């Protein structure tokens, strides 16, 4: 993240908006000692998880399903933690601290990538579930749902959910769109496949009464603790307008 953006994120986090209850969903991809926009170093990740655990009384961390709950069940401000793709480095570098801090986390798993190079094995996914991590659907093959035919769409969504339920032995009701890409057809198919919520990669606050199948989410980069704390307090929402402009330009 560029320094100018970090400054904007920290400044925006001080704004007293939105006025009512709101939930900031944050996402991770990889936890490893490498440098790219989709990776957080293990030391940073542990620092971030322990900060959330230490501040849970004032800024609670809640399950993603809270975003689909009635307004009466929302705290004034809260955070929800998500991780996409089930990379093996998340298990290796992140599971121990997640199990230790005992914060709600949802891991979105593409079911047919389990056991392939760099992804978690079946045993590792089960170990995550046993540690209290919620397993969510992320299709079978991480397909862009806008580009598959109806038969493949059904297989990716319902088939992926059934694969994971057979593995973990419990209902899988949460879903994340691969790449964050969706359209009206994909959204309807997610509902038809039996999911109760679906999250995107569009930054912003989740609010009571919002669409539970297009929940906003902001991804965390390898940033300082000050920028992270500003991010979970809503600072990344400063980029929402710019994101909307970019989406319109892409058509």
**Total domains in the fold of the chain:** 1
Say what the pLDDT of residue 35 is.
87
Q: What is the pLDDT of residues 151-196, one digit of tens each?
A: 999 999 999 999 999 999 999 999 999 999 999 999 999 999 999 9
Query: d(Cα 164, Cα 168) in Å, to the nearest integer?
Result: 6
**SS3 letters across 171-238:** CCCEEECHHHCCCHHHHHHHHHCCCCEEECCCCCCECCCCCCCCECCEECCCCCHHHHHHHHCCHHHH
Q: Which residues pair with 28 in a beta bridge?
A: 83
Say what the pLDDT of residue 239 is.
84
Domain containing residue 179: 3-250
Average pLDDT taken over every residue of the chain? 94
How many CB atoms are closer than 10 A to CB 7? 12
The pLDDT-based confidence of 250 (bands split at 50, 70, 90) is: low
Q: Residue 46: pLDDT above 80? A: yes
> 107: helix, coil or strand?
strand
Burial degree of 150 (CB within 10 A; 0-12, 13-18, 19+): exposed
Considering only the C-alpha atoms of the chain, give the largest distance between any 2 of them, rounded to a whole number of Å.
47
Say what the pLDDT of residue 121 is.
98
Percent of the chain at pLDDT > 90 equals: 86
Q: What is the pLDDT of residues 184-224, one digit of tens each?
A: 999 999 999 999 999 999 999 999 999 999 999 999 999 99
Say what the pLDDT of residue 15 is.
87
Contacts of 89 (CB under 8 A, 6+ apart): 30, 31, 32, 118
Q: Residue 123: pLDDT above 60? A: yes
Percent of the chain at pLDDT > 70 equals: 96
Say what the pLDDT of residue 225 is.
97
Q: Residue 247: pLDDT above 70? A: no
Instruction: Identify the CATH number of the domain in which residue 156 sits.
Output: 3.20.20.370
Say what the pLDDT of residue 38 is.
92
The pLDDT-based confidence of 54 (bands split at 50, 70, 90) is: very high
Nearest to 18 by CA among 199, 208, 198, 197: 208
**SS3 letters across 34-66:** CCCCCEECHHHHHHHHHHHHHCCCCCCECCHHH
Say what the pLDDT of residue 191 is.
98
Q: Residue 138: pLDDT above 60? A: yes
Q: Is 80 left (phi over 0), alpha (psi -120 to 50) or beta?
A: beta
């Amino acid at each position: 993240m560029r320094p100018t953006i970090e400054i904007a994120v920290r400044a925006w986090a001080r704004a007293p908006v939105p006025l009512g209850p709101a939930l900031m969903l944050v996402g991770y991809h990889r936890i490893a000692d490498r440098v790219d926009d989709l990776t957080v170093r293990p030391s940073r990740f542990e620092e971030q998880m322990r900060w959330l655990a230490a501040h849970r009384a004032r800024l609670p961390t809640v399950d993603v399903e809270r975003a689909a709950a009635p307004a009466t069940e929302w705290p004034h401000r809260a955070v929800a933690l998500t991780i996409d793709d089930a990379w093996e480095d998340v298990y290796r570098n992140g599971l121990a601290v997640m199990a230790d801090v005992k914060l709600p986390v949802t891991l979105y798993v593409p079911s047919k990538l389990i056991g392939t190079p760099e992804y978690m094995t079946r045993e590792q996914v089960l170990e995550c579930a046993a540690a209290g991590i919620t397993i969510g659907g992320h299709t079978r093959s991480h397909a862009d749902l806008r580009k598959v035919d109806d038969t493949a769409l059904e297989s990716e969504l319902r088939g992926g959910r059934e694969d994971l339920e057979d593995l973990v032995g419990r209902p899988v009701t949460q879903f994340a769109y691969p790449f964050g890409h969706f359209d009206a057809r994909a959204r309807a198919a997610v509902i038809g496949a039996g999911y109760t919520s679906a999250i995107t990669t569009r930054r912003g606050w989740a609010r009571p009464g919002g669409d539970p199948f297009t929940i906003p989410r902001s991804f965390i980069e390898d940033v300082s603790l000050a920028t992270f704390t500003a991010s979970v307090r809503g600072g990344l929402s400063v980029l929402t307008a710019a994101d909307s402009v970019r989406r319109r330009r892409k058509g």
